[in-house]
Amino acid sequence: MALLDEEGADRLTMRRLAERLGTGSTTLYWHVKTKDDVLDLALDTIFAEVEIPRESGQGWRTDITTLINGWRAVLLRHSWSAALLGRPMLGPNVLARSEFLYATLLDAGVTESRLTAAAYGLSNYVIGSALMQTTWLTSAEQAVRQAAREHLHATRERYPTLAAHGPAVADDDWETGFALGLTWLLDGIETGIATEDAPGRDSIRDRR
């Protein structure tokens, strides 16, 4: 984790990791089958940092917002993690957060027909956002971002709108933008609860 946080995913080598641990590189293979296992373990480990709201009594929107924001914060704090999300996440910590997400949505009255859409929508939004942001903050460090801005400026007659109302730059833009999109998704989910439009099927709330 320390090695990943400090130098990024591409600088993680079995040899470097072993050196960091004060051991031989081949020793690692006694504890781990492949390097991918190391990444899978690291990825699941950071999810333990995401606090699960318990019995907050603030309502499902608040709970889910807390979870999603915490998820995003962790992904951004460990900037190497977002690029690794393209692998199956089946670790216990990831599953525990998913369990909470599903349970909270279900408890809030989200119909099963919309349940996966809601859970996946929220997850995908976080993943995409974190991936996009870390792409521009870390892999660029400054060189690529500068080059991007210059390139946009140089070709501004071809992409006038993009050059004028360019992509986010300040940190606040990322924050408020993410929060805004999250409320849109939550509003949509909430509307699905109030207005049940799946005919012939009782809502969960009615069954209680």
CA 83, 88, 93, 96 torsion: positive or negative?
positive
| Region at 28 (left for phi over 0; alpha for psi -120 to 50; beta for the rest) | alpha
Candidates 185, 192, 63, 197; CA nearest to 124 is: 185
Q: Is 59 an interacting residue with respect to its own copies (CB under 8 A)?
A: no
Rule CB under 8 A: say whether 155 interacts with its own copies: yes
Cβ–Cβ under 8 Å, residues 105 and 64: yes
By the 8 A CB rule, do 91 and 43 touch?
yes
> In the numeric block, which tokens belong to residue 188?
């949509």
Q: What is the DSSP letter of 54?
A: -
Closer residue to DNA (CB): 33 or 165:
33
Q: How far apart are CA 4 and CA 10, in angstroms?
A: 9
- Using CB under 8 A, pick the residue from 51, 173, 197, 202 that binds its own copies: 173
Q: Cβ(102)–Cβ(52) under 8 Å? A: no
Closest CA to 189 of 106, 95, 97: 106
Instruction: Pick one of its own copies, DNA, none as the site partner of residue 106 (Cβ within 5 to 8 A by kind).
Output: its own copies
16 makes contact, choosing from DNA, its own copies, none, with CB < 5 to 8 Å by partner type, with DNA
Site string for its own copies, 66-105 (x = CB under 8 A): ----------------xx-xxxx-x-x--xx-xx--xx--
Which residue, 23 or 113, is less far from DNA as judged by CB? 23
Of the two residues 28 and 96, which places its CB atom closer to DNA in the complex?
Answer: 28
144 or 169: CB nearest DNA? 144
> Pick from 160, 171, 198, 201: which binds its own copies (CB under 8 A)?
160
Q: How far apart are the first and last CA of the chain?
A: 46
Q: Which stretches of the chain bind its own copies, using CB under 8 A?
A: 82-83, 85-88, 90, 92, 95-96, 98-99, 102-103, 106, 112, 114-121, 123-129, 131-132, 134-136, 139-140, 144, 147-148, 151-152, 155, 158-162, 165, 167-168, 173, 176-178, 180-181, 183-185, 187-189, 191
Contact residues toward DNA (CB under 7 A) are 11-16, 23-27, 29-31, 33-36
